[in-house]
């Protein structure tokens, strides 16, 4: 009996010791995680997990550590374990799991968790705004005019990460970990060399050659990336690691924004911007076209999530205003970064909090004279992919540009891609296709074309039909894309009034179909009203199966596609005072 007691006593002591080690390990990992050293933190979390420790908190941290480094397939494994525990995690984990699933090619599963996320988000307006403005875009959802643009990987890409391209006259400035001299061995926590800034000559959009480091005292032994330039090309803002890190490089991930001047062809007089802090990250600077406002990404206090887009005003004496958050329309609980402002005053940025294909997607939003934002649009395929897509830049006059992506790369390393007008575009196509894609933000009826009462606005806009799934009245992602165009026209023509007419196929009873069509009409109307359109301008009527567009009446055998043609909504102009 005494031996048994001794055995259990020793077992109890060893268990206490084991749990103490686990607790200590998690605390150490948490410290690293809070310092953005996700890979070092992950190594400790993994050791704890290998000991058989089961914890929702541990699985969250492991999933997050992979999510933050864009290793989505690994993130899925740990989020999956988290949800199998049967616990009730915070709403953001439904979102991160959904994004990771989609980035891993498991789209339908991802959508299921997105719907759950919607049901859990308390701020209904924000949830609707995210759902309405940042579509879940799939193959062939919309015929984006980017299909007439060619996208290629640049020949200057290396086996390491290359990203943050920016066009400066005939030069491409970018960050890379792959151009260090032979014998260079210094690496950071993910095994890659540190990033430096380089320039190359743009001979043609897809022909970039002659890579060499930026001149002067820009590059150091640690990270430099994300450059932006004043209109005259004489001042540069860029990201760099803080040099106040200790020997253990504890704060090496804290990035700051610096300013440099070009003197006699050399980048010199490097100085740190005054609003930087040792405790937070400031990175990815981007100047407005007039050089008077600096946008950047930061996790500073006042951020909505992991990182937000902020801006400061630049005064004539080179002083700066207090940083201002761009607001919850752009920023989410996740990551918003890599802003870029085009010459036509559009803000491009990357986000994994707005809805898209998975991972980081590139979005665009109009800025007005005061810098306020309009409606957000996902650039869609082929610019965006299930992997990370970010650091977009464009020459709006020559209609070509660059972006970075981890697509087509087994190691998820980032490469720079070019998009430019393909020679396959038909002669006589005078309208610039890229501009046409951008105009979907504010698409309207041509000025010379009168809006005729009784006409179907959908036909005037050449909309794809607003189809519904069988038995459903939910507005899906494809329908949402077309509805945004209707909404844009209603904003442009404030006196325009519409009647939404919704229809069903002939399956189910006539009474059921009449009720279903009314629900579809009401759902479509509500979607438009939620965008801010006056309810008095929109009426809705269901017609059931009374107005079929084909032969598929009761008793006629038809294909699913033929039935689908009848499950539609129309937008009939009932008043026009333009």
Residue 144 predicted with pLDDT over 80: no
Q: What 8-state DSSP symbol labels residue 335?
A: B
Residue 441 predicted with pLDDT over 60: no
Whose CA is closest to 331, among 65, 134, 138, 104? 134
Write phi, then psi, for 547 (nearest 5 degrees): -130, 60
CA-angle at 523, arms to 557 and 562, nearest 5°: 15
Cα dist from 243 to 23, 176, 221, whole Å: 32, 20, 10
Cis peptide upstream of residue 151 (ω within 30 degrees of 0): no
Confidence tier at 37 by pLDDT (50, 70, 90): confident
**Cα–Cα distance between 241 and 29 in angstroms, integer?**
22
**Residues near 204 by beta carbon (within 8 Å), at least 6 away in sequence:** none
DSSP lists the bridge partners of residue 150 as: 420
Q: What 8-state DSSP symbol labels residue 170?
A: T
- Kindly report the average pLDDT of the chain as a whole number: 80
**Residue range 167-186, pLDDT digits in tens:** 999 999 999 999 987 667 67
Residue 193: predicted pLDDT = 87
For residue 428, the surrounding DSSP H or E stretch is: none
Pairing of strands 497-502, 538-542: parallel
Pairwise pLDDT comparison (334 vs 466), residue with the higher score: 334
Retrieve residue 490's tokens.
């209603």
Residue 93: predicted pLDDT = 92
Confidence tier at 133 by pLDDT (50, 70, 90): very low
For residue 251, the tally of other CB atoms under 10 A from its CB is 17
Residue 244: predicted pLDDT = 54
Average pLDDT over residues 62-75: 88
Retrieve residue 388's tokens.
């990370």
Average pLDDT over residues 526-539: 88
Extract the runs of DSSP E, i.e. beta strands, from 278-360.
282-287, 293-298, 308-313, 324-325, 336-341, 346-351
Retrieve residue 201's tokens.
């000559």
Pairwise pLDDT comparison (234 vs 37), residue with the higher score: 234
Residue 423 predicted with pLDDT over 60: no
Confidence tier at 136 by pLDDT (50, 70, 90): very low
Residue 296 predicted with pLDDT over 90: yes
**Residue range 12-35, pLDDT digits in tens:** 444 444 455 667 778 888 888 877
Q: Are 38 and 335 in contact (CB under 8 A)?
A: no
Where does 85-160 have alpha helices with state H?
Answer: 91-103, 107-120, 124-133
User: Does residue 428 come out as left (phi exceeding 0), alpha (psi in the -120 to 50 range) or beta?
Assistant: left
**Cα–Cα distance between 223 and 215 in angstroms, integer?**
16
Q: What 8-state DSSP symbol labels residue 426?
A: P
Whose CA is closest to 505, among 574, 456, 560? 560
Pairwise pLDDT comparison (226 vs 440), residue with the higher score: 226
DSSP lists the bridge partners of residue 307 as: 335
Residue 329: predicted pLDDT = 85
Q: Are 288 and 309 in contact (CB under 8 A)?
A: no
Average pLDDT over residues 189-206: 88
Confidence tier at 5 by pLDDT (50, 70, 90): low
Residue 2: predicted pLDDT = 56
Residue 11: predicted pLDDT = 44
Whose CA is closest to 432, among 420, 444, 417? 420
Confidence tier at 51 by pLDDT (50, 70, 90): confident
For residue 15, the surrounding DSSP H or E stretch is: helix 2-34
**Cα–Cα distance between 428 and 238 in angstroms, integer?**
42
pTM: 0.66
Residue 295 predicted with pLDDT over 80: yes
**Residue range 77-132, pLDDT digits in tens:** 999 999 999 888 998 899 899 888 988 888 888 888 888 887 787 554 344 444 44
Q: Are 153 and 408 in contact (CB under 8 A)?
A: yes
Residue 467: predicted pLDDT = 64
Residue 10 predicted with pLDDT over 90: no
Candidate ranges 154-158, 277-281, 500-504; pick with highest mean pLDDT = 154-158
Q: Are 571 and 562 in contact (CB under 8 A)?
A: no
User: Among 11-25, 187-201, 384-398, 488-502, which stretch is predicted with the lowest mean pLDDT?
Assistant: 11-25
Residue 182: predicted pLDDT = 67
**Cα–Cα distance between 69 and 192 in angstroms, integer?**
13
**Cα–Cα distance between 465 and 113 in angstroms, integer?**
27
Residue 207: predicted pLDDT = 93
Residue 387: predicted pLDDT = 86
446-468 burial, b for 16+ CB within 10 Å, e for fewer?
eeeeebeeeeebbebbebebbeb
**Cα–Cα distance between 526 and 371 in angstroms, integer?**
29
Average pLDDT over residues 140-169: 76
Percent of the chain with pLDDT over 70: 78
Confidence tier at 322 by pLDDT (50, 70, 90): very high
Residue 3: predicted pLDDT = 54
**Residue range 339-394, pLDDT digits in tens:** 999 998 899 999 988 877 888 999 988 887 777 777 788 887 788 888 899 999 99
Residue 378: predicted pLDDT = 82
Retrieve residue 357's tokens.
């294909």
User: Among 95-109, 180-194, 280-294, which stretch is predicted with the lowest mean pLDDT?
Assistant: 180-194
Going along the chain from its start, the domains and CATH numbers come out as: 2-122 (1.25.40.10), 145-441 (2.120.10.30), 457-575 (3.30.1330.60)
**Cα–Cα distance between 82 and 90 in angstroms, integer?**
11
Q: Is the dihedral of CA 160, 299, 235, 330 positive or negative?
A: positive
Pairwise pLDDT comparison (266 vs 425), residue with the higher score: 266
């Amino acid at each position: 009996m005494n031996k048994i007691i001794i055995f259990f006593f020793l077992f109890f002591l060893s268990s206490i010791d084991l749990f103490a080690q686990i607790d200590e390990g998690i605390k150490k990992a948490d410290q690293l995680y809070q310092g953005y050293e996700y890979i070092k933190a992950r190594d400790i979390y993994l050791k704890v997990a290998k000991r058989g420790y089961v914890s929702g908190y541990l699985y969250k941290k492991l999933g997050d550590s992979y999510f933050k480094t864009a290793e989505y397939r690994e993130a899925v494994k740990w989020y999956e374990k988290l949800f199998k525990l049967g616990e009730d995690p915070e709403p953001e984990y439904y979102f991160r799991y959904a994004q990771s699933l989609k980035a891993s090619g498991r789209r339908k599963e991802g959508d299921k968790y997105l719907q759950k996320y919607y049901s859990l988000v308390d701020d209904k307006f924000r949830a609707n705004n995210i759902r309405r403005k940042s579509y879940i875009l799939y193959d062939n959802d919309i015929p984006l005019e980017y299909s007439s643009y060619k996208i290629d990987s640049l020949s200057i890409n290396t086996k390491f990460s290359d990203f943050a391209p920016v066009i400066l006259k005939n030069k491409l400035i970018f960050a890379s970990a792959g151009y260090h001299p032979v014998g260079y061995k210094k690496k950071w926590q993910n095994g890659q060399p540190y990033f430096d800034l380089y320039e190359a000559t743009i001979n043609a959009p897809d022909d970039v050659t002659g890579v060499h480091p930026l001149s002067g005292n820009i590059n150091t032994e640690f990270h430099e990336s994300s450059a932006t330039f004043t209109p005259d090309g004489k001042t540069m803002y860029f990201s760099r690691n803080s040099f106040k890190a200790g020997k253990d490089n504890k704060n090496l991930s804290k990035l700051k924004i610096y300013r440099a001047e070009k003197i006699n062809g050399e980048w010199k007089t490097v100085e740190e911007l005054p609003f930087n802090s040792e405790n937070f990250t400031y990175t990815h600077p981007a100047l407005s076209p007039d050089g008077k406002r600096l946008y950047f990404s930061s996790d500073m206090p006042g951020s909505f999530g992991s990182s937000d887009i902020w801006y400061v005003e630049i005064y004539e004496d080179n002083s700066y205003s207090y940083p201002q958050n761009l607001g919850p329309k752009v920023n989410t609980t996740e990551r918003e970064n890599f802003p870029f402002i085009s010459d036509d005053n559009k803000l491009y940025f990357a986000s994994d909090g707005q809805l898209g294909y998975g991972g980081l997607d590139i979005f665009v939003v109009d800025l007005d004279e005061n810098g306020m934002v309009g409606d957000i649009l996902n650039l869609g395929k082929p610019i965006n992919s299930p992997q990370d897509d970010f650091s977009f830049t464009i020459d709006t006059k020559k209609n070509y540009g660059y972006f970075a992506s981890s697509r087509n790369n087994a190691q998820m390393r980032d490469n720079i891609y070019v998009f430019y007008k393909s020679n396959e575009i038909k002669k006589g196509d005078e309208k610039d296709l890229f501009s046409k894609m951008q105009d979907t933000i504010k698409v309207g009826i041509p000025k010379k074309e009168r809006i005729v009462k009784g006409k179907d606005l959908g036909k005037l806009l050449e909309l794809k039909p607003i189809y519904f799934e069988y038995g459903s009245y939910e507005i899906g992602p494809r329908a949402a894309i077309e509805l945004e165009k209707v909404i844009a026209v209603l904003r442009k023509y404030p006196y325009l009034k519409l009647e939404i007419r919704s229809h069903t196929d002939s399956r189910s009873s006539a009474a059921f179909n009449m009720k279903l069509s009314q629900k579809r009409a009401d759902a479509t109307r509500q979607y438009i009203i939620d965008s801010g359109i006056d309810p008095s301008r929109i009426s809705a009527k269901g017609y059931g199966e009374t107005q079929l567009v084909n032969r598929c009446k009761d008793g006629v055998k038809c294909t699913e596609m033929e039935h689908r043609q009848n499950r539609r909504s129309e937008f009939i102009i009932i008043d026009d005072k333009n």
